[in-house]
Structure 1
Amino acid sequence: MAAGHSVDPARWQEAFEALMGRIAGRFARVEPRRRVRQLVLGLLSDLPRKNCWTIAEWVGEATPDGMQHLLGRAKWDADLVRDEVCDYVVEHLHDEQAVLVVDETGDVKKGTHTVGVQRQYTGTAGRIENSQIAVYLVYAGRRGHAAVDRELYIPRSWTSEPDRCRAAGLGDQTAFATKPELATRMIGRFLDAGHRAPWVAGDEVYGGNPKLRAALEERGCGYVLAVARTHEVPTHAGKFRADALARKLPKRAWQKLSAGAGAKGHRFYDWAVINLAHPGPGSHQLLIRRNRSTGELAFYRCYSPRPVPLTTLVRVAGSRWRVEEFFQAGKGLAGLDEHQVRRFDSWSRWVTLAMLAHAFLAVVRADEHARHPGPADLIPLTCNEIQRLFTTLVVKPIRDAAHRLGWSHWRRRHQARAQASHYSRQAANQA
């Protein structure tokens, strides 16, 4: 390494092998155990597009058959690996004041056979598209953040057709569940596993759901959940819309506080809090955020088993953006959205391994920040930079000409068969 450089590739490789050893017991046979290691390395690579074909070529396999078998037919339980990812994240990013952040993301898809796909709104595209939606749970602490669970949203257009569900690998009795219900399920799994996070954050989809809020209160779990301006809250003077209460606040009710550091510095807003009337135990409040430049307002329903200061509620509200950072990094660095699979089992396996790959980057980043805060003229190592260095210094992809030419031959043969099949169907339809 360059003189004075703190990066230690051997330590990163040791950390990666330890993580692979951690999940090794979830694979009964040695072949999938070896191949899953190669797949995760491919997810961590600098490939511009990550799928079974590109990763198989990158790691040196002659065809994508083995990778496709690992995702589709090999014997292993993605949920057990997910539990290992959760334990790994909590162990290495542990924070007594961690926040569980819940949110959904969409992947634009073509066709109608990919599990869970339908025309629906997705924030990824910013409009209604043919897409697949998944809800994720992110553990966010001072040392970093990573996803610890995932649930695929199965629309009613699917659950009302058992044959369609069966063809996609879903059970015959698959029942419709809303996104807040999926969030409740994941938070329950996290807490039932013995993990602790005193706070939950989420956007209006989750804040506007009374069943989710009640479930969190029953478990004694605090929350700061966004709600719409039209959301009605109970006060000692009756029920009022959130925006109506904001208009009644005097100037002295607002405080300038940071919602956390962003890429361009601290994110300062004006904040105010109103105590709410509630028959049950605990502290119930309406938190209001005001943009200091535009005056735009945002609203949050808050609960805590015991009263907490405004700064704590602001910190939790600001943590919600960690899930957006996970989506960006998970998709950009670990191929979270690049799965080209149709069945539910294959989807579960791909996104779980992508979560594991991102979690590795997040843990290495936290470890590097703790070991080497870095000189003043350098920002601390980011997940992007760690991925780049890990691929360059640790992973040794195969790049010989014979291997590349063999894959070119395989792709062209596969494409020729697909083209011939397409022309045959076209001719039959025109006959």
Structure 2
Amino acid sequence: MDVDWQGDLDRWLAPFVAALRHKTRARMCPLYVAGLIGPGDRKSVQPMAARAGEVGYDQLHHFVAAGVWDSAPLEAVLLKEADGLVGDEAGFLVIDDTAQPKKGRHSVGVAPQYASSLGKTANCQSLVSVTLASREVPVMVGLRLFLPESWTDDPERMARAGVPKDRHNALTKPEIAIEEIDRVIASGARFGCVLADAGYGSSGPFRQALSERGLMWAVGLSRRQTVYPADVDLIFPVAKTGKPRKYHIPNQPPVSAEALLATAKWQKVSWRRGTKGRLTCLFAARRVRVADGHKHRMLDNRMQCMPGDEVWLVGERRSTGEQKYYVSNLPTDTSIKTLAATIKARWVCEQAHQQLKEELGLDHFEGRSWTGLHRHALMTMIAYAFLQSRRLKAAGRKKKSLGPPATTKLAGHKASDPRPLHATSTPTMSPL
């Protein structure tokens, strides 16, 4: 380990410390972040304070859980630093969620709920994550707790956990994600495309909110989602009896995404090199209109959603037999290889989740409050961004002896990024 990493950390943290605008907090912040990065398996407050030797448990706990200070200025600095590291018009903003298994029921937001990262229902906290990424390098910039109904329906429980008043109304994960995306946009951070799994992409309002903001997106979709072929026409049938129809209706019935691609042409596509060679899967893509428009009552008295905007429907068949479906508003001339590479770029957030937990103790916080959980999560993201900055510097030094940088294209944007860092396996998050 580089013996001078702590000196580098102090210099790198200077803008964060300045944003705290308080002498004691300015001392606690570097100690907390250094405790997350440094040695030791457990990254909760008590063992970090014991290892530091410079500060007591009470002081460090007060800083993260009870001190009166605003996280927003530090979050703004984190976004600025992340943009400097990986911001790129050809990059990605990845939306996902990560689960933190918990025992008991008193930690804020903990409840039996489905955890996509665990693939099952578990007693856990679930946080919506936002990751800025380019060149296969992720920097996480947002972690926001999702509150299930068992919490939002219990005002006393919310008050005991210190949940802010403006968070007492129930919000879905896609709604939390849109709030976070707006925060990233307002910061000026650069990215070219929003990525998300089917937990978000299957929400019509989520996709529509992205489009309303003028964003490009490629998101997962339920195989059961009904879609129309792109050439569907809206007709105005003449009623034989009764009142004349007021609205146009589709001239074709919708079918599931799975059924529409079942007869499509599937082809083997390789999107990047992994540790064991090129990564390939079978993909198929067709232009469709998702059935997520306004609802009309049909002649047989069924309620049917009208066609939405024209988009790409993409299917993936994995070697395991598993099939996945996606939808994207990338341009009509986008190649299937670019569609596949864009969809698969979401993997970097899973890498970030793993490293934040295994290396930096994201899930080690033992407090129960809303404030403490979010401040601890913010400190882990700051620590992670610092380590990524060192990794990029080290990779930059190595690249000086290489030839001209490779470039790629996404959605009409020219990529200005240098040669990929080949982050195809989970790297160590030591301070290099």
TM score, norm. by length of structure 1: 0.81
Structure-2 separation of matches of 1:385 and 1:273: 36
In the TM superposition, what are the counterparts of 1:31-430 in structure 2 within 5 Å? 31-61=24-54, 63-142=56-135, 144-173=137-166, 174-235=168-229, 236=232, 237-249=252-264, 253-277=265-289, 284-291=311-318, 293-304=319-330, 307-373=333-399, 384-385=427-428, 387=430
1:143 and 1:366 in contact (8 A); partners too: no
Structure-2 separation of matches of 1:383 and 1:296: 23
Question: Any gaps of 5 or more consecutive residues in structure 1?
Answer: 1-6, 391-431
In the TM superposition, what is the alpha-carbon distance from 1:127 to its structure 2 partner? Answer: 2.9
Partner of 1:419: none
1:254 and 1:271 in contact (8 A); partners too: yes
Structure-1 separation of matches of 2:224 and 2:82: 37
In the TM superposition, what is the alpha-carbon distance from 1:364 to its structure 2 partner? Answer: 1.3
In the TM superposition, what is the alpha-carbon distance from 1:140 to its structure 2 partner? Answer: 1.5
Structure-2 separation of matches of 1:242 and 1:233: 6
Change (3 A) 1:240 1:92: same
Structure-1 separation of matches of 2:308 and 2:90: 21
In the TM superposition, what is the alpha-carbon distance from 1:248 to its structure 2 partner? Answer: 1.5
2:355 and 2:429 in contact (8 A); partners too: no
Change (3 A) 1:299 1:384: closer
Give a deviation string over 1:101-144, Cα, whole Å, max 9, x none: 11111111122211111111224544322211101011120161
SS of the residue corresponding to residue 13 of structure 2 reads helix
Structure-2 separation of matches of 1:258 and 1:103: 24
In the TM superposition, what is the alpha-carbon distance from 1:178 to its structure 2 partner? Answer: 0.6
Structure-2 separation of matches of 1:128 and 1:309: 37
1:241 is matched by which residue type in structure 2?
S
Partner of 1:395: none
Partner of 1:393: none
In the TM superposition, what is the alpha-carbon distance from 1:265 to its structure 2 partner? Answer: 3.0
TM score, norm. by length of structure 2: 0.81
1:94 and 1:143 in contact (8 A); partners too: no
Identity rate of aligned residues, in percent?
A: 28
1:220 and 1:305 in contact (8 A); partners too: no
In the TM superposition, what is the alpha-carbon distance from 1:260 to its structure 2 partner? Answer: 2.9
Deviates further, 179-188 or 87-96:
87-96
Change (3 A) 1:232 1:205: same
Change (3 A) 1:222 1:150: same
SS of the residue corresponding to residue 206 of structure 1 reads helix
2:215 is matched by which residue type in structure 1?
C
2:136 and 2:348 in contact (8 A); partners too: no
Change (3 A) 1:357 1:351: same
SS of the residue corresponding to residue 19 of structure 2 reads coil
Structure-2 separation of matches of 1:186 and 1:276: 29
In the TM superposition, what is the alpha-carbon distance from 1:259 to its structure 2 partner? Answer: 3.4
Structure-2 separation of matches of 1:386 and 1:171: 34
In the TM superposition, what is the alpha-carbon distance from 1:65 to its structure 2 partner? Answer: 0.7
Structure-2 separation of matches of 1:207 and 1:120: 19
Give a deviation string over 1:265-302, Cα, whole Å, max 9, x none: 332112221011379997511011122x3443211011
Structure-2 separation of matches of 1:217 and 1:380: 32
In the TM superposition, what is the alpha-carbon distance from 1:312 to its structure 2 partner? Answer: 2.2
Partner of 1:28: 21
In the TM superposition, what is the alpha-carbon distance from 1:383 to its structure 2 partner? Answer: 7.7
What's the Cα RMSD here?
A: 2.6
1:26 and 1:77 in contact (8 A); partners too: no
Structure-1 separation of matches of 2:189 and 2:333: 23
Structure-2 separation of matches of 1:114 and 1:296: 36
The structure carrying a bigger helix percent of its residues is: 1
In the TM superposition, what is the alpha-carbon distance from 1:196 to its structure 2 partner? Answer: 2.7
